[in-house]
C-alpha cells in the first residue's frame, strides 16, 4: 500500500536526491542490475510496523523508486513486531503468502529450507561495502548459503537522563557492571530510579537479560549446542541482576516493550534500555511545542552497555533480516529488489530516515555522513559490530529462536530477581526447558 | 417492554411466550409495597455501583480518545478524570487519514455474511435434530455441542492449510468461511431450544394438508422463530465483530483487515502506542453494535427466553 | 443439516483431528515432523502427572517448593487456567445473577439501562483489553490516582497491578468478569422473565420472604438456563486468549499464562507445533468435564418436561 499522502510526506521530510537525479540514476541502475525481474512480476513484502514515521516515508519512497525503475509493483504490508514471525511461520508452513518477510533475529533459521537462496546478492553487497559484520553473516547464512539479507540492526542502548546521573554523583555513564550497579543504587537513593522490562517484552526484555547473562560469562549453550546454563557464571549474573532489580522502580515485571518509553517520558524512570525511540518521541513532541518533552530531549543521552567480568561488549541488538520465500513466483524480482534496496543511493537515505533507529550491518556504513549529525545517536552506529547473536556460541537456528520465543532466559532472570524462585531453582527450570529445546 | 409488539412484524403471529412475557413485566405485584428508601437501598444503589464499574472503562476510553496527547501521561498537573481541552483530532485522523471506513466495511461485511451463512446452516441442523426422528439425532446434537471443545488458538495452523489450499488467504472469504466454526454450535443450540417451543400439532396439521418438510420449515417454523433468529443473529454478529486470532493470521493486506486487528497494528509504532487513536477506533468500531443492541436488546432478551424455556 | 455438517466436518473436525495428531509428533513450523508417541505429553505433564498436579497446587497455594517431574510452566498454566476459570466464572455468575434480579424489577428507563449494561460485551475484546492495560499501568493507573486523591494511597505509593503474581491474576480476572457479566446477566434476565408471575403472587400471599421466593421459586426454575449459560461461560473463560495476550502475555513470571496462551507461545511463536498441540489437546479433558456438567443439567430438564415434547 503506497498512499499518495505518505509519499508526499516522505518527499518533503527528506532532502536526499533531487527527483530528476533519482530518475536518471534509477534508469541507469536498471540497465546494470544483476537480476532482472520476471515480466509482469509484482511483490508483496510484509514487514514490522515502523518505529519512526520518517523511516517508513523513506522506505516507501525507495519502493516507489524501485517500481519506477523496474515496473514491478511492491505492496508493503505492516504487522506489529511480534506478529511478523507467526505470519511468516504460517506462510512457510502452507507454502503461500507474501513474497518477502522482513522479521527479527533468526527468523530465516526457523525454516531455512523455505528461504530463497540470495547468496549472490549478499556477496555483492558485502563486496561493495567492504564486508559484512560478523553477526550479520551469522544471521544471514545457513549451511554456507545466504538465506536472508540482514538489512539492518536495531540498537538497544542505555537511555538515561544526564541531570539525574550527575545528581547521583556520576559524571559519565560507568563502563563496567560494578559502576553501573552503583549508579542504579544512587539513582534510587535520590528518588529518580531506573528500570528495565522484565515482562514478556521480546525487544527490550530480551536485550537486557542476555546482556546480563553474557556479561558474567553465563551462556545458555556452548558451541556444540550443549546446555550449559547451570553454571557459577549464571549464578553470578543472577546475583547481580537481583541487586539491580532491587534498585529499580517497582513494577518492571509487568513491563512490555512500550512501558519504559511511557515511564521515561513521564519522568517516572530516569534510566532504562531502549532503542532511540524515546529520544525520537521527545524530539517529535518538542517540535510540537511540548516544553517538558524538549527538556527531556535535551537532558537525555544514550550509551553503550557496561562491560561485565568477561571484559568485552555483551550487547544484544535486534537484527532485521529480509528474506524471500521459495514459493514466490518471482524470485528474480525479489533479488532485484534486494539489490536495489542495498544500492548506496537508496540505502543511505533510507537509513538516514530511520534516525539511528536502524544501524547498518556492513563496514562501509560507518562512512555514512548522517551518523555525525547528532552525537547523542552515535552509540547506535556500531550496533552490528558489538552485538552477539541469538544463542551466542551455539547455533543460530530454530532452537535459539525457540529459546527466545519461550523467554527462557527472561523468565529465569525474572524468577530469580523477584525472589519467586531461588537462584538455583530458577536456573534449574531454565535448564530443563533448554535441554528440551536443544535435545 | 410493554410496547414490545411494536418491534414485531405485524403480519407474523406472536409466539405463545411473547404474550406471557408482555404480562411478565407487570408481575411486580409486591413492589408497590416498597418504600422509596428501601427501593433506593435494594435497587438503585447496587444497580448504580454495578453500572458505574461496568461503564467506567468505557468512559475512560472515551476520555482518552478526546484528550490532547500531552495530558495523557500527566497525572500531576491536570485532573486525569476530565479534560477541558477536548480534541477530535483522533477521530478526524481515524476517519480521514486512515482506511478506517474500509476496515469498518470489511468487518461489517464479514460479520453479516458469515452470520447469515451460519444461521442458515444452523436452522437446518437444529430443525433436523429437533424434528426429524432419525437414529443418532441426539448424538449429532451432542457432537455439535462438543464442537465447542476446540480452542481456536490451536486450530488456525490446520485451518490455514485449508484456507490457503483453496486460495482464500488474505481474502474476506478466509474469515467468512472460518467464523461459522465458532458460530454454528451456539446458534444451533439456541435454535434447537426455540424450535422445541413451537407446538408440534401445527406441523402435523400442515403435513396432513400435504405440505412438504421444506414448506413447513419456511412457512410455519421460521416465521414463528423470528425472535430466536434475531437473538442468534445478534450473538453471532457480536462474536464476529470481536474475533481477533483468525483475522490476525488469515488477513495480511490493510485493505482486507477487520477493525480490531487493523486498529492494533495501525496505531502502534513499534513500541509506541497511540492511545488516543486506538481508543477512538475502539469507540467508532463499537458504534454499529451499540445501535444494534439498543434496537434489539428487548428482542434478544425475549428470544433467549424462548430458547431456554422449551 | 447437511451444510452445517459439512462445514463442521471440514473446518472443525478435520483441524481438530490434525491438532490431536500433531500433538503426537515433533512437528515444527515448516516441517512435518515424525511420530513421537506420548513424548510431548511426558515432557509437559511429567512422569507422574497426578503428583505434579497436586504439587503445583500446593506450591501455588501454600508456598511449598516441591520439584515437579514435568514442565513447571505447563503445570503453572494448568493451575492458572483452573483458578482463572473457577474464580472468574463464580464471580460472573454471582454478579450476573444479582444484576439480572435487579434488572428484572420494575423501573423507569428499563430498555436503556438494559442496553447500556451490555456495553462491555459489545466493545471488541482486544480494544477493551488495551484500555484495561492502561488502567492497570503501574505508573499511570487512573485507579492509583483515584486512590491517592481519596488518601488511601500515599503520594509515591503505587499498586503493581500487572507486575505482582497475585495482583496480576486479580487484574485479569477482574477484566474478564467485567466483560462477561453483561452476557450472563442478560441471559439470566431472559430466564427470569419466563417465571410465571402467578407463582410470585401466590408466594407473596403465603407470606414468603424475598429470600424464600428466590430460593424456592426463582432459583429452581432458573436452574436449566443457569446450567447452560454457565457452561458457555466456563468454556469461553477456559479458552480465553485475547485478554491475557494483550494484558500480560502470560507474565509476570508466567503467573497468568493460560493453557491457550502457552500453547500459542510454544506452538506458534516458538515454532514447536507438537508441544503447542499437546497443550491444547490437554485442555480437552477439562472442557469435557464442564460439558458433562451442563449435559446432566439439560437431561434433568428433559425429565421435568417429560419425553413427550422431544
The domain spans of chain C are 37-301
Q: Using a CB-CB distance cutoff of 8 angstroms, which residues of chain A are in contact with residue B253?
A: 1, 44, 75, 77
Among all residues of chain A, which has the CA nearest to that of B254? A77
Asked if pLDDT for residue C292 goes beyond 60, the answer is yes
- Cβ A398–C269 below 8 Å, yes or no? no
Confidence of residue C219 (pLDDT cuts 50, 70, 90): confident
Q: Are A42 and A72 in contact (CB under 8 A)?
A: yes
Of the candidates A82, A405, A420, the beta carbon closest to that of C253 is on: A420
Q: Using a CB-CB distance cutoff of 8 angstroms, which residues of chain B are in contact with residue A1?
A: 253-255
Confidence of residue A183 (pLDDT cuts 50, 70, 90): very high
- Cβ A249–C139 below 8 Å, yes or no? yes
Please report, rounded to a whole number, the percentage of residues in chain A having pLDDT higher than 70.
95
Q: Which residues contact A217 (CB under 8 A, 6 or more apart)?
A: A231, A233, A236, A237, A308, A309, A310
Average confidence score pLDDT of chain B: 75
| CA nearest neighbour of A335 among A347, A324, A327, A348 | A324
Q: Using a CB-CB distance cutoff of 8 angstroms, which residues of chain B are in contact with residue C178?
A: 53-54, 57
Tell me how close the Cα of A92 comes to any Cα of chain B, in angstroms.
Answer: 11
Tell me how close the Cα of C269 comes to any Cα of chain A, in angstroms.
Answer: 6
Lowest-confidence segment of A170-174, B189-193, B223-227, B304-308 by average pLDDT:
B304-308
Interface of C with A in 161-200 (CB under 8 A): 161-165, 168
Tell me how close the Cα of B255 comes to any Cα of chain A, in angstroms.
Answer: 9
CA gap C130, B278 in Å, rounded = 8
Q: Which residues contact B65 (CB under 8 A, 6 or more apart)?
A: B90, B91, B276, B279, B280, B282, B283
Asked if pLDDT for residue C303 goes beyond 50, the answer is no
- Kindly state the cell numbers that stand for C244: 491475557
Of the candidates A405, A420, A437, the beta carbon closest to that of C265 is on: A405
Of the candidates B157, B165, B255, the beta carbon closest to that of A90 is on: B157
Q: Which residues contact C252 (CB under 8 A, 6 or more apart)?
A: A198, A199, A253, A254, A414, A418, C162, C163, C164, C165, C168
- Cβ B43–C105 below 8 Å, yes or no? yes
pLDDT at C238: 85
pLDDT at C308: 35
Q: What is the pLDDT of residues A101-132, one digit of tens each?
A: 998 877 888 888 888 999 988 999 898 898 99
Of the candidates B60, B147, B298, the beta carbon closest to that of C142 is on: B60
Q: Are A252 and A198 in contact (CB under 8 A)?
A: yes
pLDDT at B301: 65
Give the mean model confidence (pLDDT) for residues A212-230. Answer: 92
Neighbours of chain A (3+ CB pairs under 8 A): B, C
pLDDT at A69: 85
- Cβ C268–A86 below 8 Å, yes or no? yes
Q: Using a CB-CB distance cutoff of 8 angstroms, which residues of chain B are in contact with residue A81?
A: 270-271
DSSP label at A145?
E
- Cβ C73–A429 below 8 Å, yes or no? yes
A interface test, pick of C29, C158, C168 with most A CB neighbours within 10 Å: C29
- Cβ B196–C310 below 8 Å, yes or no? yes
Q: Using a CB-CB distance cutoff of 8 angstroms, which residues of chain A are in contact with residue B160?
A: 90, 93-94
Q: How many CB pairs under 8 A join A and C?
A: 112
Q: What is the pLDDT of residues B232-255, one digit of tens each?
A: 888 888 888 888 888 887 887 778
Asked if pLDDT for residue A215 goes beyond 70, the answer is yes
- Kindly state the cell numbers that stand for C242: 485475547
Asked if pLDDT for residue C225 goes beyond 80, the answer is no
pLDDT at A142: 84
Average confidence score pLDDT of chain A: 86
Tell me how close the Cα of B133 comes to any Cα of chain C, in angstroms.
Answer: 10
Q: What is the pLDDT of residues B117-176, one digit of tens each?
A: 888 888 888 887 777 666 666 676 666 666 666 666 667 667 777 777 777 878 888 889
- Cβ C19–B155 below 8 Å, yes or no? yes
Residue A142 φ then ψ, to 5°? -140, 120
| CA nearest neighbour of C277 among B273, B30, B153 | B153
Question: Taking the CA of residue A70 as centre, how many other CA atoms within 13 Å lie in the half-sphere pointing to its CB?
Answer: 32
- Cβ A199–C269 below 8 Å, yes or no? no
User: Which superfamily does CATH assign the domain made up of C37-301 to?
Assistant: MetI-like (1.10.3720.10)
Lowest-confidence segment of B42-46, B154-158, C2-6, C52-56 by average pLDDT:
C2-6
3-state SS of B52-104 is HHHHHHHHHHHHHHHCCHHHHCCCCCCCCCCCCCCCCHHHHHHHHHCCHHHHH
CA gap C52, B228 in Å, rounded = 46
Max CA pair span of chain B: 79
Asked if pLDDT for residue B4 goes beyond 50, the answer is no
Q: How many CB pairs under 8 A join A and B?
A: 88
C interface test, pick of B154, B184, B282, B309 with most C CB neighbours within 10 Å: B154
Interface of B with C in 72-131 (CB under 8 A): 73, 75, 80-81, 120-122, 124-125, 127-129
- Cβ A92–C162 below 8 Å, yes or no? no
Interface of B with C in 54-73 (CB under 8 A): 54-55, 57-58, 60-61, 64, 73
B273 touches chain A (CB under 8 A): yes
pLDDT at C3: 61
Beta bridge partners of A300: A161
Q: Using a CB-CB distance cutoff of 8 angstroms, which residues of chain C are in contact with residue A194?
A: none
Rg (CA), chain C: 23
Tell me how close the Cα of B182 comes to any Cα of chain A, in angstroms.
Answer: 21
Give the mean model confidence (pLDDT) for residues C123-150. Answer: 83
Give the mean model confidence (pLDDT) for residues A137-149. Answer: 88
Tell me how close the Cα of B43 comes to any Cα of chain C, in angstroms.
Answer: 6
- Cβ C160–A250 below 8 Å, yes or no? yes
Q: What is this structure's pTM?
A: 0.82
pLDDT at B7: 35
Q: Choose the most confident range, by mean pLDDT, from A220-229, B183-192, C41-50.
A: A220-229
Confidence of residue A316 (pLDDT cuts 50, 70, 90): very high
Asked if pLDDT for residue B219 goes beyond 90, the answer is no
Asked if pLDDT for residue A81 goes beyond 80, the answer is no
Enumerate the CATH 3.40.190.10 domain ranges in chain A, comma separated. Answer: 4-154+317-386, 157-316+406-437
pLDDT at B135: 64
Confidence of residue B116 (pLDDT cuts 50, 70, 90): very high
Site of grid cell 487519514:
B97
B187 touches chain C (CB under 8 A): no
Give the mean model confidence (pLDDT) for residues A415-424. Answer: 88
Give the mean model confidence (pLDDT) for residues B286-310. Answer: 68
pLDDT at A409: 93
- Cβ B159–C106 below 8 Å, yes or no? no
Confidence of residue A23 (pLDDT cuts 50, 70, 90): low
| CA nearest neighbour of B240 among C237, C6, C11, C125 | C125
Confidence of residue C94 (pLDDT cuts 50, 70, 90): very high
A83 touches chain C (CB under 8 A): no
Of the candidates B47, B260, B298, the beta carbon closest to that of C111 is on: B298
pLDDT at A181: 95
The sign of the dihedral angle between the CA atoms of A242, A244, A250, A255 is negative
CA gap A325, A116 in Å, rounded = 5
The domain spans of chain B are 32-87, 96-309
3-state SS of C186-255 is HHHHHHHCCCCHHHHHHHHHCCCCHHHHHHHHHHHHHHHHHHHHHHHHHHHHHCCCHHHHHHCCCCCCCC
- Kindly state the cell numbers that stand for A141: 547464512
Average confidence score pLDDT of chain C: 81
Q: Using a CB-CB distance cutoff of 8 angstroms, which residues of chain B are in contact with residue C7?
A: 121, 180-181, 184
Asked if pLDDT for residue A234 goes beyond 90, the answer is yes
Q: Choose the most confident range, by mean pLDDT, from A25-39, B258-272, C160-174.
A: C160-174
Residue A305 or residue B157, greater confidence: A305
- Total residues belonging to chain A: 439
B145 touches chain C (CB under 8 A): yes
Q: Choose the most confident range, by mean pLDDT, from B24-28, B64-68, B208-212.
A: B64-68
Q: Is A153 helix (H, G, I), strand (E, B) or coil?
A: strand
User: Which superfamily does CATH assign the domain made up of A4-154+317-386 to?
Assistant: Periplasmic binding protein-like II (3.40.190.10)
pLDDT at C171: 92
DSSP label at A253?
G
- Total residues belonging to chain C: 310
H/E element, A100:
strand A100-102
Q: Using a CB-CB distance cutoff of 8 angstroms, which residues of chain B are in contact with residue A204?
A: 271
Asked if pLDDT for residue B111 goes beyond 60, the answer is yes
pLDDT at B24: 42
Asked if pLDDT for residue A256 goes beyond 80, the answer is no
Q: Using a CB-CB distance cutoff of 8 angstroms, which residues of chain C are in contact with residue A254?
A: 138, 160-163, 168, 248, 251-252
The DSSP bridge pattern shows strands A100-102 and A42-48 to be parallel
- Cβ B248–A44 below 8 Å, yes or no? no
Residue A105 or residue A358, greater confidence: A358
| CA nearest neighbour of C227 among C295, C288, C177 | C295
Q: How many CB pairs under 8 A join B and C?
A: 277
Q: What top-level class would CATH report for the domain B96-309?
A: mainly alpha
- Cβ A49–B270 below 8 Å, yes or no? yes
Asked if pLDDT for residue C212 goes beyond 60, the answer is yes
| CA nearest neighbour of A110 among B90, C172, C267 | C267
Please, where are the H alpha helices in chain B? Answer: 16-24, 36-39, 45-66, 69-72, 89-97, 100-131, 137-146, 152-165, 172-178, 180-196, 200-208, 213-215, 222-224, 226-242, 245-250, 259-266, 275-309
Q: What top-level class would CATH report for the domain A157-316+406-437?
A: alpha beta
Asked if pLDDT for residue A13 goes beyond 70, the answer is no
A65 touches chain C (CB under 8 A): no
Asked if pLDDT for residue B288 goes beyond 50, the answer is yes
Measure CA of the first residue to CA of the last residue in chain B; give whole Å: 22
Distance of CA B2 to the CA centre of its chain: 24
A173 touches chain B (CB under 8 A): no
Asked if pLDDT for residue C191 goes beyond 50, the answer is yes
pLDDT at B302: 64
CA gap B298, A55 in Å, rounded = 51
Amino acid at each position: 500500500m503506497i498512499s499518495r499522502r505518505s509519499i508526499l510526506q516522505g518527499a518533503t521530510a527528506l532532502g536526499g536526491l533531487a527527483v530528476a537525479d533519482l530518475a536518471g540514476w534509477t534508469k541507469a541502475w536498471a540497465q546494470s542490475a544483476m537480476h532482472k525481474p520476471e515480466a509482469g512480476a509484482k511483490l508483496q513484502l510484509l514487514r514490522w510496523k515502523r518505529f519512526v514515521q520518517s523511516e517508513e516515508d523513506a522506505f516507501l519512497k525507495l519502493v516507489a523508486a524501485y517500481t519506477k525503475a523496474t515496473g514491478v509493483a511492491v505492496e508493503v504490508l505492516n504487522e506489529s513486531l511480534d506478529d511478523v514471525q507467526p505470519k511468516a511461520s504460517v506462510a512457510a508452513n502452507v507454502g503461500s503468502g507474501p513474497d518477502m518477510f522482513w522479521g527479527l533475529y533468526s527468523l530465516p533459521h526457523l525454516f531455512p529450507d523455505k528461504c530463497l537462496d540470495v547468496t549472490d546478492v549478499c556477496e555483492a553487497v558485502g563486496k561493495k561495502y567492504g564486508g559484512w559484520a560478523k553477526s550479520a553473516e551469522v544471521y544471514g547464512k545457513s549451511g554456507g548459503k545466504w538465506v536472508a539479507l540482514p538489512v539492518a540492526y536495531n540498537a538497544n542502548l542505555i537511555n538515561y537522563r544526564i541531570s539525574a546521573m550527575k545528581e547521583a554523583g556520576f559524571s559519565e555513564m560507568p563502563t563496567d557492571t560494578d559502576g553501573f550497579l552503583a549508579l542504579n543504587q544512587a539513582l534510587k537513593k535520590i528518588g529518580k530510579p531506573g528500570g528495565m522490562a522484565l515482562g514478556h517484552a521480546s525487544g527490550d526484555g530480551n536485550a537486557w537479560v542476555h546482556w546480563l547473562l553474557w556479561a558474567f560469562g553465563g551462556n545458555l549453550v556452548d558451541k556444540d549446542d550443549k546446555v550449559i546454563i547451570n553454571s557459577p557464571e549464571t549464578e553470578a549474573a543472577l546475583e547481580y541482576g537481583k541487586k539491580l532489580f532491587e534498585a529499580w522502580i517497582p513494577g518492571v515485571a509487568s513491563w512490555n516493550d512500550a512501558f519504559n518509553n511511557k515511564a521515561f517520558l513521564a519522568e517516572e524512570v530516569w534510566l532504562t534500555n531502549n532503542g532511540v525511540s524515546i529520544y525520537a518521541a521527545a524530539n517529535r513532541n518538542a517540535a510540537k511545542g511540548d516544553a517538558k518533552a524538549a527538556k527531556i530531549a535535551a537532558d537525555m543521552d544514550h550509551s553503550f552497555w557496561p562491560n561485565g567480568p568477561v571484559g568485552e561488549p555483551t550487547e544484544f541488538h535486534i537484527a532485521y533480516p529480509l528474506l524471500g520465500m521459495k514459493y514466490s513466483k518471482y524470485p528474480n524480482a525479489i533479488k532485484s529488489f534486494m539489490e536495489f534496496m542495498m544500492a548506496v543511493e537508496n540505502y543511505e537515505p533510507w537509513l538516514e530516515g530511520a534516525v539511528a533507529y536502524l544501524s547498518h550491518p556492513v563496514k562501509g556504513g560507518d562512512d555514512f555522513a548522517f551518523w555525525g549529525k547528532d552525537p547523542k545517536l552515535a552509540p547506535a552506529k556500531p550496533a552490528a559490530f558489538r552485538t552477539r547473536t541469538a544463542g551466542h556460541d551455539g547455533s543460530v537456528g530454530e532452537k535459539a529462536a525457540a529459546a527466545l520465543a519461550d523467554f527462557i532466559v527472561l523468565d529465569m532472570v525474572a524468577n530469580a530477581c523477584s525472589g519467586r524462585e531461588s537462584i538455583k531453582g530458577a536456573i534449574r527450570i531454565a535448564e530443563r526447558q533448554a535441554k528440551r529445546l536443544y535435545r | 417492554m410493554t410496547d414490545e409488539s411494536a418491534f414485531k412484524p405485524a403480519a407474523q403471529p406472536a409466539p405463545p411466550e411473547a404474550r406471557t412475557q408482555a404480562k411478565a413485566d407487570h408481575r411486580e405485584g409486591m413492589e408497590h409495597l416498597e418504600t422509596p428508601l428501601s427501593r433506593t437501598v435494594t435497587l438503585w444503589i447496587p444497580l448504580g455501583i454495578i453500572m458505574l464499574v461496568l461503564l467506567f472503562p468505557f468512559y475512560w476510553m472515551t476520555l482518552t480518545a478526546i484528550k490532547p496527547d500531552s495530558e495523557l501521561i500527566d497525572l500531576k498537573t491536570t485532573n486525569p478524570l476530565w479534560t477541558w481541552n477536548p480534541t477530535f483530532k483522533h477521530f478526524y485522523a481515524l476517519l480521514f487519514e486512515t482506511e478506517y471506513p474500509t476496515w469498518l466495511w470489511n468487518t461489517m461485511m464479514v460479520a453479516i455474511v458469515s452470520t447469515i451463512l451460519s444461521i442458515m446452516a444452523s436452522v437446518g441442523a437444529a430443525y433436523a435434530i429437533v424434528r426429524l426422528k432419525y437414529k443418532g439425532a441426539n448424538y449429532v446434537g451432542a457432537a455439535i455441542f462438543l464442537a465447542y471443545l476446540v480452542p481456536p488458538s490451536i486450530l488456525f495452523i490446520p485451518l490455514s492449510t485449508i484456507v490457503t489450499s483453496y486460495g482464500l488467504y488474505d481474502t474476506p472469504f478466509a474469515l467468512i468461511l472460518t467464523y461459522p466454526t465458532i458460530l454454528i454450535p451456539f446458534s444451533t443450540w439456541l435454535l434447537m431450544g426455540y424450535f422445541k417451543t413451537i407446538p408440534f400439532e401445527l406441523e402435523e396439521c400442515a403435513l396432513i394438508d400435504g405440505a412438504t418438510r421444506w414448506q413447513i420449515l419456511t412457512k410455519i417454523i421460521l416465521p414463528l422463530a423470528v425472535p430466536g433468529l434475531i437473538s442468534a443473529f445478534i450473538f453471532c454478529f457480536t462474536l464476529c465483530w470481536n474475533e481477533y486470532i483468525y483475522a490476525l493470521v488469515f488477513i495480511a493486506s490493510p485493505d482486507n483487515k477487520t477493525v480490531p486487528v487493523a486498529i492494533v497494528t495501525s496505531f502502534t509504532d513499534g513500541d509506541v502506542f497511540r492511545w488516543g487513536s486506538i481508543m477512538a477506533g475502539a469507540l467508532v468500531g463499537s458504534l454499529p453494535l451499540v445501535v444494534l443492541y439498543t434496537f434489539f436488546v428487548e428482542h434478544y432478551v425475549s428470544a433467549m427466553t424462548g430458547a431456554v424455556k422449551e | 443439516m447437511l451444510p452445517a455438517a459439512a462445514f463442521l466436518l471440514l473446518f472443525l473436525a478435520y483441524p481438530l483431528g490434525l491438532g490431536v495428531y500433531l500433538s503426537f509428533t515433533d512437528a515444527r513450523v515448516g516441517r512435518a515432523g515424525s511420530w513421537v508417541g506420548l513424548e510431548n505429553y511426558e515432557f509437559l505433564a511429567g512422569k507422574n502427572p497426578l503428583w505434579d498436579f497436586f504439587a503445583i497446587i500446593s506450591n501455588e497455594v501454600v508456598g511449598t517448593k516441591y520439584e515437579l517431574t514435568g514442565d513447571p510452566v505447563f503445570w503453572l498454566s494448568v493451575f492458572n487456567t483452573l483458578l482463572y476459570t473457577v474464580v472468574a466464572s463464580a464471580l460472573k455468575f454471582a454478579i450476573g445473577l444479582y444484576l439480572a434480579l435487579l434488572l428484572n424489577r420494575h423501573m423507569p428507563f428499563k430498555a436503556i439501562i438494559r442496553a447500556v449494561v451490555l456495553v462491555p460485551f459489545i466493545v471488541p475484546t482486544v480494544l477493551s483489553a488495551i484500555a484495561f492495560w492502561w488502567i492497570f499501568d503501574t505508573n499511570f493507573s487512573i485507579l492509583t490516582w483515584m486512590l491517592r486523591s481519596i488518601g488511601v494511597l500515599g503520594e509515591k505509593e503505587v499498586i503493581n497491578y500487572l507486575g505482582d503474581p497475585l495482583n496480576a491474576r486479580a487484574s485479569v480476572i477482574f477484566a474478564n468478569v467485567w466483560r462477561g457479566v453483561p452476557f450472563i446477566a442478560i441471559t439470566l434476565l431472559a430466564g427470569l422473565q419466563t417465571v410465571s408471575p402467578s407463582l410470585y403472587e401466590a408466594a407473596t400471599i403465603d407470606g414468603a420472604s424475598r429470600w424464600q421466593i428466590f430460593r424456592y421459586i426463582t432459583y429452581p426454575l432458573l436452574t436449566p438456563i443457569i446450567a447452560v449459560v454457565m457452561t458457555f461461560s466456563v468454556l469461553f473463560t477456559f479458552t480465553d486468549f485475547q485478554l491475557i495476550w494483550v494484558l500480560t502475555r502470560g507474565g509476570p513470571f508466567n503467573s497468568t499464562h493460560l493453557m491457550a496462551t502457552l500453547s500459542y507461545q510454544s506452538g506458534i511463536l516458538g515454532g514447536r507445533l507438537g508441544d503447542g498441540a499437546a497443550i491444547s489437546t490437554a485442555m480437552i479433558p477439562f472442557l469435557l468435564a464442564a460439558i458433562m456438567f451442563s449435559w446432566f443439567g439439560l437431561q434433568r430438564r428433559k425429565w421435568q418436561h417429560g419425553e413427550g415434547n422431544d
